[in-house]
Structures are given as C-alpha cells and as structure tokens.
Amino acid sequence: MSVNVEKRVDPPGESDYATAAWELKERIRSAEGVLRQRRGFFVDAYRRSTAHLLVENDRLVAFASVRRDGYILFLAVNPDHRGRGYAERLVADVAEDHRSVTCHARTTNRQALGFYEHLGFEVIRRIDGYYEDGGDAYYLKLGGESLRERLSGFVGG
C-alpha cells in the first residue's frame, strides 16, 4: 500500500501548522536533546517565515521554516518517518526558491552535521555560545554546483 505525503506551505503570516510544528519539534527535543527554543520565539519565527510542510493523512510529518533569504530556521522530521528522503525533499524545495541556502547546527549534533554534509553544505564558521543555553554552532551554507542540480539527485527530479 502506498503512502501519500502531501506538500503544503504556510506562507509568512500564516500559522495553520504552527502548533503541530511546535509539537513535532518538542518531541524531537525531548528524545534527542536538540531543537531547543522557547515557544514564543519558535511561534514568532514560524509566523514570519515560509514553512514547507509534508503532511500524511492530515498529520504533519516534516517541516522546514525558511526566512526570505534562504536561511533555514527549523528543519524537523518525525523520527518515525526518517530515512524516506523527507528532509532532502524539504531542502530541495528551499533551494528551488532561493539562490543561497544557509542554516546553523549545533557543533555537537553529529546527525544534523552529517546530513548537511551529505547534501553539500559547507561549514563557513564556528560561533561559540550561539545558542541560548551557551551551546556552540556552525554556520553552514549549501555550496558548490547548482543547488537545483545537486538536490534533484536526492529527490529524483
């Protein structure tokens, strides 16, 4: 039986999926210790960004919130839905809309860093004490060849 995952978008100013995105982010935070933010910060940033969403049976399974400049504020995939290419698909959607794609990742988040490296992101710089809890971050940028060409190989398009 095939599973249909539907792409949706919450444009800036809309927050149809903000609560579901917060709940997914919090599930990941409690299980993995990453994606720590205060709810007010998260909801405000979500509402100001474009949220690329993947929904299965009306349930949010993955999302990427992106600023106008291509900076990925949040990228999250339900742990039960990982390994299906959803994160790659979301980053490809972002790359399709932006000339440059950037983000931050904790220096200790090996899973995220490995994922971003796999896609061709490069570490631009390290920022000590970047996170509210004092954690350090890398500022990453998708580099090299055309973003569309590079990411089309991951999503089969």
Q: Distance between CA 98 and CA 77 in Å, rounded?
A: 21
State pTM to two decimals. 0.87
Q: Are strands 121-127 and 137-142 parallel, antiparallel or unpaired?
A: antiparallel
Nearest to 96 by CA among 37, 20, 154, 135: 154
Q: For 8-38, what is each residue's pLDDT tens digit?
A: 999 999 989 999 999 999 998 888 876 677 8
Task: Note the pLDDT tens digit of each residue in 44-60.
Answer: 999 999 999 999 998 99
The dotted CATH code for 5-155 is: 3.40.630.30
Q: Where are the domains of the chain?
A: 5-155
